[in-house]
Structure 1
Amino acid sequence: MEALFQDPITTSNDFVYNHHHSEQADMIGERFFTSSGSSFSGMTKSATEAEEVVEEEGDYTDATLKFISQMLMDEAEDLEKQGCMFTDCTALQAHEKHFSDALHGSDGDPSPPNGKRTHQHSSPSAVETTYERSNKLQLAEESHEPPLDDDTYYDAIVYPSKKTGKKAGKSNSHRRGGGKKKRNPKEEVIDLRALLTKCAQSIGVNDRGTANETLTKIRLHSSPYGNGSERTAHYLAIALEARMNGTGTSLYSSYHSDSISASDILKGFHTYINAIPFKVVSFMMANKYIMKLTARGATRLHIIDFGILYGFQWPWLIEGLSARAGGPPRLRITGIDFPQPGFRPEERVKATGLRLGKYCERLNVPFEFKAIAKSWESITLEELELERDDDHDDEVLVVNCMDRLGNVADETLVMDCPRDNVLNLIKNINPHVFIHAVVNGTYHTPFFEVRFREALFHFSSLFDMFDATVPREDKDRKLFEEVMLGRDMLNVISCEGTERVERPETYKQWQVRSFRAGFQQLPLDQEIVKFLKEKVRSDYDQNFSMEEEGKWLLQAWKGKVNHAVSYWKPNNN
């Protein structure tokens, strides 16, 4: 098995499966969700046939998009009633840590950002006021044309190297309604970046008068319907006001929980996957490598997925395994995520297992699933029920974590660092490979003004790439920006101590942390890298790019590195 890991062979690229309706899966036991194929020959393609499918219609993105679309069709009623796993898990973390701090004390700073406690800070009316103001602004803006475009001026500050040319093809097709209006020569040019920075500085020194005055001006020139810089300013203004009023945690935990359903968020995520390559590239980096590990005839594949969410990563892998010459291996996924609110913390992770089980059943891939929903640092090897021994030496064991380890606390909060404890757990699992994708972020510092400046730069980049690739009037884009990006900004800017759960690190910091935990970094697979670079070059906006550095694959927008992926294994020597 070690030889299989060290010298993987090349397999065919992509396999596409045409989804069809299947009956509801039977109730499955609490420990495992299982689906066993009775005959591989009926559903399994040969390698040649699979390659022909790839040439005709193969696109990795399709598998994920179809999986989301199938969810929206099959579970429309349930998803309309549910909150979303993307938002619930981190909200619950903030609540749990808040109560833990109250009971046992906190290593983080428990005080409000301005250092003072008043009844206003925890008042529900303060949260309601922020919501009402934001909603009134949005309703007013819906009845008017979007504000005049100011992104040329703003991008000159935030992105001094920005290129104005657009790649013909896909990116241009997303620019519907993105045309620019001529500016009145007498109109005042507003530097939103300077206003936001001034407001943050005023809040940092508790100058509420200047902060309120600046916020008023920002609101006049920002909008959730405008260009990228105006949208960035709109959501940062909400976060700054929440910080000033001490309502950040309450607002973050209840952020549109009653008005936005899981169905809405999935539609927004569908738009994100289609327009932005970061998730797709990370998924493909992982799945193509896993396919190579199983290519020499492994009969079992166990994937331990930290942060599985809805399992969007795995449909393409399942399709690829189903088409493997000789039949698919038995696929076992241990899906790990943070617990959901309520009395059934594992419910939605189990629902992910049921969906993947139905998908495997359609393709005759033998499947097992175990759900774990708890704080990651408290997971034990016994709970993972590993089977790596002489009787299972044909099993490939993979640990996968896509952008989620940054939600685990670090040593600035707890002396016994949970983040390091999770890495130590992964080392003790002793997988053939640990595939780690990270958000490359520098907005983790405890110093507010520095953190705000870095967050402004990071989130401006995200809104800018949406502005270049998705029409401004797209409702699903606005949903994603509001509930995902806006909510993250709220946590980063307005929450402190254990209540701040968005704590990214740079890929270089993760590299040091991984070496210290006892991992060795594996080289990138050049065949996979070449394929992905060509895919991004041909399918996405020209401002997306990929580079290699220190055995990391870096993903960037206009030269700013946003995401990174790498392969690791325990250094048992």
Structure 2
Amino acid sequence: MEGMNRGKYEPDDWEEFGTGSDDCFSSDYALPHKDSSEGGCRPSKFEQLEQQKEPFSDYRQFEDLELDVFCPLLPACPNQIAMLPEIQEEIEDIVAPKTQNERPFSLSTLELLKDYTKGRRRLNVEPSDANLAGQKLSTEEIMRFAGVKFIQSSIQMAGVASLLKYPYDLSFSGLSDEETKNGELAECMLASAEKVGNQQYDSARRLLNQCDLLSSNTGNPVQRVVYYFSEALRKRIDRETGKVASQSLESDLFDVYEAVMIPNPIIQACYEGIPFYQVPHFAGTQAILENMAEAKRIHVIDLKISNGLQWTVLMHALASRNECPLELLKITAVGTNSKQHIEDTGNRLKSFAQTTNIPFSFKIVMVSSMLDLKEDLFELDADEQLAVYSEYALKSLIVQPNQLGHLMEVLRSINPCVLVMIEIEANHNSRVFVHRFIETLFYFSAYFDCVDACLEHNDPSSRMIIESIYLGEGIRNIVASEGEERKIRNVKIDVWRKFLAQFGMVETELSEASLYQANFVIKKFAFGSCCTFDMDGKSLLIGWKGTPILSLSTWKFMPQVS
């Protein structure tokens, strides 16, 4: 926890809703500012925003906020699923009419699966290359390669094969036997998803039957991914053809949130083996400490507390703080269900606080709905510094936007000095099924690859349970459900920027100390080198082999203009 007591708080310029962020990472340190004249607030823009802002009353408005990487499909394009972002422009060149000013079609600039940079295996190398001997394509790489193969086949079927001038060998001949079979299996699944998107259900079922012959929940990672996605596609077909009522799919929804609150060996194995849990906990705790550098009484509101492991990290750091002795650490947990589990978490934290000699208070605010949340329920004291911690809390309310909007208004009224937010970094909210399917496929392929690497050898039983229950449920809900039944609606950080800006929030810098904590923690994991970091504006993106998995960001409210 070295360096955790130093503060960092840089005012941020207000940006209008809908504009991108060009902010760069800064390594300067400073102490928290209290002067409301700082912060780059432009009252006219804020007032204009307040006048224009309308309450979120429909979850579909979040779909309108998405920055979809796919362009509208061209009528001449025979397969929707062919619109992978890496080659969107090239396919447009094939199917769109040419004008005199347009450049001639060429795939010479095509970056086949641009995630293969930074020293990892490219698809145009020969197996005999000594530098690459023994390396394997990752699960996500196999999926992307199969996607390009599927696009190639689709274009050839459209009768434009003569235009193709691929600079790379896109056949499966350069891969191992296992990789070849995995690629063919993935290509078959992509074809079935395309048929589902076109409502060609009989053809889709026949392709899924082929997938069933080669996939398994006990096979290699590609086979396991195909198994769960094929299962979800079948459920979607049953839903759309009326074979299974939509309500029955909803009744089967597994409560992942409640499951992770209960201490068990599976959750412990995840926390100890998979880096995506500890990294944001340490870096996010650092951000809280920096904004509380001189606070003697600290109050943290946890919007969706689970097992509370991140607060043991905070207690460790506060126990070693000598410059400003702590008088009280108060944690308030907000909940709408599972009160007993929240109480159990509080009791564990109280016991841990005693071992570290931390003066500690744990409060619970239970409401039947976020619409019932009010400022006075938090028992705020004038002499305490307030922070809000949101770990996957906001995404769970996308399907209930009126509650999400009310929550943001309450947070603005209590005006915390920092909001730490951890969210899934993926677009699982596209209204176009095929687009959502592809994004979900790549995301979960990377996640399965991570779970396989981190847990397979040491704890294969935990790996199977995590995949079948936790990951499998997410795939099923995103792929098979629609409308209000689709509870899992992850969106990327750029969408959250747009949303939070409507409530007068701006992003603050993550300091060097926060990034140091992330790098320090990752070195403890056997496969930590596969975990990748990147900055998106002022947010830290945490990924697996280049594929973003989640984001960590910090926020504050702009001063309101009277």
| TM-score normalised by the chain length of structure 1 | 0.63
Q: Which of 314, 320, 328 lines up with 1:317 in the alignment?
A: 314
Q: CA deviation at 1:432?
A: 1.0
Question: Is 1:299 paired with 2:296?
Answer: yes
Q: 1:430 to 1:479 in 2, by over 3 A?
A: same
Are 2:262 and 2:307, in contact at CA under 8 Å, matched by a contact in 1?
Answer: no
Matching of residues 28-427 of structure 1 within 5 Å: 152=137, 155-159=140-144, 183=177, 191-246=184-239, 247=244, 250-251=248-249, 253-254=251-252, 266-296=264-294, 298-325=295-322, 327-340=325-338, 346-373=339-366, 374-388=368-382, 392=383, 395-409=384-398, 417-427=402-412
Residue 495, structure 1, aligned to residue 485, structure 2: no
What is residue 477 of structure 1 aligned with on the other side?
463
Q: Which amino acid aligns with 2:344?
A: A
Counterparts of 2:136 and 2:279, CA distance in 1 = 28
Q: Gapped runs of 5+ residues in structure 1?
A: 1-7, 12-104, 110-149, 162-180, 341-345
Larger CA deviation: 547-556 vs 262-271: 262-271
Q: Which residue of 1 aligns with 2:440?
A: 455
Q: Cα–Cα, structure 1 residues 256 and 339, in superposed 2: closer, same or farther, change >3 Å?
A: closer
Aligned-partner residue type, residue 350 of structure 2: G
Contact 2:275/2:528, CA 8 A, preserved across alignment:
no
Q: Aligned in 2, Cα 1:386/1:265: closer, same or farther, shift over 3 Å?
A: closer
1:521 to 2:507 alignment: yes
How much does 1:292 deviate?
Answer: 3.2
Distance 1:360 1:505, change over 3 A: same
Alpha-carbon separation, structure 1, partners of 2:220 and 2:556: 43
Amino acid in the other structure paired with 2:276: F
Quick one: which amino acid aligns to residue 528 of structure 1? S
- Deviation per CA, 1:103-140: give whole Å up to 9, x if none: xx99779xxxxxxxxxxxxxxxxxxxxxxxxxxxxxxx
| CA–CA distance in structure 2, aligned partners of residues 184 and 192 of structure 1 | 11
SS of 2:223 mapped into structure 1: helix
Whole-angstrom distance in 2 between the partners of 1:363 and 1:203:
56
Matches of 1:184 and 1:548, distance apart in 2: 35
Partner of 2:518: 532
Q: Distance in 1 between matches of 2:189 and 2:263?
A: 28
Do 1:536 and 1:545's aligned partners in 2 also have CA atoms closer than 8 Å?
Answer: no
Hey, what does 1:559 align to over in structure 2?
Answer: 546
Note if contact 1:228-1:467 (Cα within 8 Å) is conserved in structure 2.
yes
The aligned amino acid for 1:291 is L
What CA deviation, in whole Å up to 9, does each residue of 1:484-521 have, x standing for no partner? 11111111111221121111111111112222210122
Residues 516-545 of structure 1, C-alpha deviations (whole Å, 9 max, x = no match): 210122111112213422442564432211
Residues 384-433 of structure 1: CA distance to partner in whole angstroms, max 9, x if unpaired? 22223xxx2xx1100000123111125xx75xx43333223222220011
- Distance in 1, matches of 2:404 and 2:365, equals 18
Confirm or deny: 8 A CA contact 2:455 2:462 kept in the other structure: no
Give the whole-Å Cα distance in 2 for the aligned partners of 1:533 and 1:160: 30
Q: Which moved more, 1:497-506 or 1:325-334?
A: 325-334
- Number of the residue aligned with 1:10: 6
Deviation of 1:156 after TM superposition, in Å, equals: 4.0
Compared CA separation, residues 245 and 261, structure 1 to 2 (3 A): same
- Alpha-carbon separation, structure 2, partners of 1:291 and 1:203: 49
Structure 1 residue matching 2:307: 3-state secondary structure = coil
User: Of residues 531, 556, 561 in structure 2, which corresponds to 1:544?
Assistant: 531
Counterpart of 1:509 in structure 2 is: 495
C-alpha change, 1:151 and 1:218, in structure 2 (3 Å) is farther
CA contact (8 A) 1:397 1:431 kept: yes
**1:174-212 deviation per Cα after TM superposition (whole angstroms, max 9, x unaligned):** xxxxxxx98499x96652332222222333343332222
Checking the alignment, whether the CA contact within 8 Å between 1:252 and 1:490 is kept in structure 2 is no
| Matched-pair contact (CA < 8 Å) for 2:282–2:521 | no
- 2: distance between equivalents of 1:350 and 1:560? 36
Change (3 A) 1:531 1:316: closer
Q: Distance in 1 between matches of 2:532 and 2:404?
A: 29
- Closer, same or farther in 2 for the Cα pair 1:387/1:556, shift >3 Å? same
**Shift of residue 154, structure 1, vs aligned partner:** 5.8
User: What SS is found at the alignment partner of 1:542?
Assistant: helix
**Aligned-partner residue type, residue 216 of structure 1:** N
The whole-number CA distance in structure 2 between the counterparts of 1:291 and 1:403 is 21
Report SS of the residue matched to 1:191: helix
Structure 1 position 556, deviation (Å): 1.7
CA distance in 1, matches of 2:205, 2:466: 28
Query: Using a 3 Å threshold, how does the CA distance of structure 1 residues 184 and 543 change in structure 2: closer, same or farther?
Result: closer
- On the 8 A contact 2:390/2:422 being kept in 1, the answer is yes
Say if 1:190 and 1:221, in contact at 8 Å, map to a contact too: no
In 2, the alpha carbon distance for the partners of 1:522 and 1:563 equals 18
1:492 is aligned with what amino acid?
I
Distance in 1 separating the partners of 2:247 and 2:390: 26
Q: Residues 372, 191 of structure 1: CA spacing in aligned structure 2 closer, same or farther, 3 A cutoff? A: farther
Residues 263 and 293 (structure 1 numbering): CA distance in 2 closer, same or farther, change over 3 Å? Answer: closer
> Would the alpha carbon gap of residues 262 and 9 (structure 1) be closer, same or farther in structure 2, given more than 3 Å must change?
closer
**Structure 1, residues 225-252: CA drift from partner, whole Å, max 9, x if none?**
2222111111112211222222465345
Matches of 2:557 and 2:206, distance apart in 1: 54
In the TM superposition, what whole-angstrom CA distance separates every residue of 1:286-343 from its partner, at most 9, and x where no partner exists?
Answer: 21222334443x3311110111022121112122223332643311111123424xxx
Q: 2-side partners of 1:437 and 1:513: how far apart?
A: 15
Give me the whole-angstrom Cα distance separating, in 1, the residues matched to 2:348 and 2:450.
31
Please say if residues 108 and 498 of structure 1, whose CA atoms lie closer than 8 Å, have aligned partners that are also in contact: no
Root-mean-square deviation over aligned CA pairs: 3.4
Shift of 1:371: 1.8
Q: Given that residues 232 and 476 in structure 2 are in contact (C-alpha distance below 8 angstroms), is that contact kept between their aligned partners in structure 1? A: yes
Q: Does the aligned pair in 1 maintain the 2:182–2:222 contact within 8 Å?
A: no
Contact 2:261–2:341 (Cα < 8 Å) also in 1: no
Distance 1:9 1:349 in 2: 29
Q: Report SS of the residue matched to 1:572.
A: coil
Residue of structure 1 in register with 2:167 after alignment: none
Aligned-partner residue type, residue 317 of structure 2:
G
Q: 1:347 to 1:324 in 2, by over 3 A?
A: same
List runs of 5+ in structure 2 lacking aligned partners.
8-56, 62-134, 147-174
Q: Match for 1:276: what amino acid?
A: I
Would the aligned equivalents of 1:208 and 1:244 in 2 still touch at CA under 8 Å?
Answer: yes
Q: Indicate conservation of the 8 Å contact 1:218/1:234, yes or no.
A: yes
Q: Distance in 1 between matches of 2:270 and 2:208?
A: 29
In 2: Cα distance, 1:487 partner to 1:283 partner: 24
Aligned to 2:85: none
